[in-house]
Amino acid sequence: MAPLSFIPLRGPWTAGDEGVFAEETTVEKPSKNLVRFAAHAHHAGVIDVTDGLDLSHVQSQEDAEKAQEAARGSWVERTWADDGTAVPGYWDGPWGVGNLAQHDLETAQRRLQAARADGDPDAVEAAEENLVAVDADIQARLAG
C-alpha cells in the first residue's frame, strides 16, 4: 500500500476506528480501510488527499444517477375514485418510500415551528406529540 498523505479541511477528521487526524498527516503504511475512508472524506470535501488518493472507492455521479433511477422504480399513474376525486400517482421504488417519509416528517416539523411561533402552549404540546408519533411512524414504515 502506497503512503497516504492528507490535510484536514473542516476541523479534526475522525476516520472510523482508524484514528483522529487534526493536522497534515502522512501514513507510510495505511490500512486498506484508511485509504477507503480517506477517498470518501476527500470526495465529501472534509480532507484534501495530496498523495495516495484512490477514487475507485467512491461512486461516480453517473453511477449514482443510474442507481437513483433504479431506486425510483416505475411511475404508477393516478387513478380516479368513484366520487371523481383523484388518487395521486407515485413512484413504486424505495426512493418513493423515503421521499414520502421525509415529506411527512417535514410537515410535522413545520406544524411544530408554527405552533411555537404562535406561542400557544397547548398547540406546542400537541405538535410535539404529533412529531413524536410521526417520527415513530416513519421509522416503522422505513423498516418495512
Partner 1 sequence: MSIVSSDLVIYNSANMPVVDSGTSGGAIDTARRPDFTQMASSDTVRVVSSNGGDTTQTVTITGRLADGTLASETLSLNGTSPVTSSNTYERLLQAELSATCTGNVTVARSTGPTTIRVIPAGERGFQAVFQQDSSDPSLQEDFYMKVFWKNTNGSLALTSAVVKENSDPSGLITFGLAATVGDSGSTTNRKTAPAGISFAGTPVSVPGGGNLASGAAIGQWLDLTLPAGQAAVKSTYTPELDGNTT
Chain contacts with partner 1 (rule: CB under 8 A): 8, 10-16, 20, 36-37, 39-41, 43-47, 57-59, 61, 63-65, 67-72, 75-78, 86, 88-89, 91, 93-103, 105-107, 109-110, 113, 131-132, 135-136, 138-139, 142-144
- Element (H or E) spanning 75, and its range? strand 75-76
Q: Which is nearer to partner 1, 90 or 123 (CB)?
A: 90
Q: Scanning the structure block, which residue is given the C-alpha cell 479541511?
A: 9
85: left (phi over 0), alpha (psi -120 to 50) or beta: beta
Grid cell in block for residue 72: 425510483
How far apart are CB 3 and partner 1 at their closest, in Å?
19
How far apart are CB 138 and partner 1 at their closest, in Å?
7
Residues in the chain: 144
